Chains A and B, each alone.
Chain A
Amino acid sequence: MSFFNTTSSSTAVGTAPAPDKDIELSDPPTDSISSLAFSPQADYLAVGSWDNNVRIYEVGANGQTQGKAMYAHQGPVLSVCWNKDGTKLLSGGADNAGRMFDVTTGQSQQVAQHEGPIKVVKWIESPQGGILVTGSWDKTLKYWDLRAPNPITSVQLPERCYTLDVAYPLMVVGTAERHIQIFNLTSPTAAFKTMVSPLKWQTRVVSCFPSANGFAVGSVEGRVAIQYVEDKDSSNNFSFKCHRRDQSPTSKDQSLVYAVNDITFHPVHGTFSTCGSDGTINFWDKDARTRLKTFDPAPGPVPATCFNRTGTIFAYAISYDWSKGHSGMTPGHPNKVMLHGCKDDEVKRKPAKR
């Protein structure tokens, strides 16, 4: 499978094999990257950053990248996502506002409002139409019909929303104090199930399987838990350690424990990636319970990752994730987005070992 052969572009490079080196996005944001999202219709990558801006880049067939559009929030942008047909980009940030950018007109407008910073925005494509859901540190979830200024509904969460993911009809919300709420989006106003995270440390990220029967939870303690929603599948639940390093080259104690910053699932194969504050990225197969690929450590923490719609391009950001507080923000810290061409054996499932 070749790398950038997904968009039929007029530039006639055609079937180039996946490059061995990852490609760096040109003109990255000026401050740390908070989130990445590929458009579901084309190879456009949206990048949200702590410099208050959202940028959209076009990723070309032979790996060239070009900035296409940019719009701003009044505070750092914490999350970006596209709607289903790729015409609108939604973003939320620390200015307590959610904005929508229409790519056809190039205009952005505010479409959501919270009492506290909006940490996650996600698009729900329900049979009744498209809805934006926003999760905020004000302990609420709000659903928005983009045409109206008021939310359709607001759902109270037990604590501040840290992370959220949707795979219709499953939605999973991870909050502070390790609560996890599972929603069935056919009745979205109340949680279908509330549980405490199986991981004993602060929840950092939740991500739903594309098959919508379960989700993965990542914590600050270098651990990921795979959870199935149905109780009958709960025997398949398991967790594993990752993103740890040894204290020194000689001792194999794995005692430096880094946070898992993001988990993203491959849209086709159902395998997933994890990335951490230690700067490493891994690809895993949850059914075979094995690791498929380890990336070389990046020069800085990796706060966000994203697969494109076909799973051929994997984007990851390298920027400071505040894991050492303010003092870690050194002036020369790398701040970039890299694109990796996925090879088959990195993302395809392995036959399960029985």
Chain B
Amino acid sequence: MQHQKAKHFKCNLCPRRLNTAGGLAVHIQQVHKLEPENLPRIDNALPGRDGYEVEIFGMEGIPAPDVADYKRRKEIELGLNPGSISQPPAKRPKVENRAISEDELKAQLEAHKALMGASDPSNLPASSDASTGGVYGAPPQAYSAPPTVVSPPTVGTPTIPPGAPHFFPPPGYPGALPFPMPPGMQMPMPPGFPPLPPMQGPPPGLMMPPPGLHPFSLPPGMAPPPFPFFPPGMSPPGFPPMTTPTPPVHTPNFVPASNPHAAAPPPSVQSQTGTPTSNIAPPELRLPNPALSQTNTPFKKATELKWSDANFSPEEHRAIHPKYLAPKDITNQSQGANSAQSGGEEFRGKKRARAEDFL
């Protein structure tokens, strides 16, 4: 409370400091015997807030619109979702427990079957409780919102191979991901993932490119249904953010909690399975010694690392790009004339004459 006293509530006639605006008003009136109306404005105050009427002591007594502004500003500084301070993200998914109608039951059953890929026809009627859904992480959400959830989990899960040990706790990893996440950044999935160099244009909402990922053949062994891979009790908080279509873009850190699903595994895929079996023609970056694969250490404060692939340099990524990649068997013999090369030969001929006399 020293700031208010020292900065704002000083009497200018005597060295007295008061605690509140009202107190200052009374003091001036009684001690210096000035009329109440002619009191000088509060020092160092914002123009609309320098009267003596509104009593603010510390954080108490702030009028509502100012409080809202303050919260906005805090959020902008921290770069979070608007509303996330006033309503922090739910720690547990909000699950409704109410009697379900016949039709809803049927719909949920269908959804459940779809999720299970009809391989496990065990019905769980009326099991919308989180308790029965404890075995799988997804079904509670799936049951309560059948239409929306089907796709994102399938997107997220292929990237979680026997990855239970690799499941990073959501808050702990920002920056630990080699998965490049800077907003708007169009980076093909980290090395090891079925390569997507041919991807055209940034998929919307980088994090969850469901349309973009579908065409890719999932590595064998990860065929849908991916559910068996879910570590039991996989934290549901991962899901609500997953279902949001566009993840917050302003996060300077890799906040979206669903990241671990998408990103944690690729380096571990790399290190565990070695070179993933890829039957797509464009080459991919393979670690010569997968055991040495690196991950970036997490940052203490929110940081956006522009080049976050710890295992490969920008030049290596560029060199495998189809535009630059030449046939593998380059040796001393010159390859078939591509335009650059024949252009080069020509130039060499032309320039040779000039070069000869330039020294």
Contact = CB atoms under 8 A, between A and B. Distances in A.
Interface string A303-343: 00000000000000000011111111000000000000000
A40 to B, nearest CB: 14
Contacts of A73: 344
Contacts of B77: 250-251
Contacts of A250: 77
Interface string B284-314: 0000110010101100011111111111111
A76 B352 CA distance: 21
Contacts of A5: none
Given A72-B340, A107-B352, 13 more contacts: A52-B341, A53-B340, A53-B347, A70-B351, A103-B359, A106-B348, A113-B332, A162-B313, A176-B312, A201-B305, A257-B303, A258-B306, A324-B185
B348 A72 contact: yes
Nearest to A221: B305
Contacts of A96: 330
A69 to B, nearest CB: 4
Interface string B130-153: 000000000000000000000000
A205 B358 CA distance: 33
Interface in A64-100: 67-76, 78, 94-97
A113 B329 CA distance: 12
B355 A76 contact: no
Interface stretch (B209-217, B227-235, B270-278, B318-326): B318-326
A266 interface: no
Given A69-B351, A322-B314, A75 B306 contact: no
A272 to B, nearest CB: 21
A202 interface: yes
B23 to A, nearest CB: 35
A322 B330 CA distance: 24
A301 B231 CA distance: 43
B288 A139 contact: yes
A97 B344 contact: no
17 contacts: A69-B354, A70-B344, A70-B347, A71-B344, A76-B319, A160-B288, A202-B310, A202-B311, A247-B252, A253-B252, A255-B301, A258-B306, A322-B317, A323-B314, A325-B186, A325-B187, A327-B201
Contacts of B104: none
B55 interface: no
Given A58-B358, A178-B294, A202-B313, A71 B348 contact: yes
B345 interface: yes
A50 B324 contact: yes
Point out which of B297, B303, B307, B356 has the most chain A C-beta atoms below 10 A from its C-beta: B307
Given A159-B288, A326-B188, A119 B315 contact: yes
B316 interface: yes
Point out which of B202, B294, B305, B308 has the most chain A C-beta atoms below 10 A from its C-beta: B305
Contacts of A201: 296-297, 305, 310
Interface in B92-109: none
A204 interface: yes
A97 B332 contact: yes
A35 B14 CA distance: 71
A159 B351 contact: no
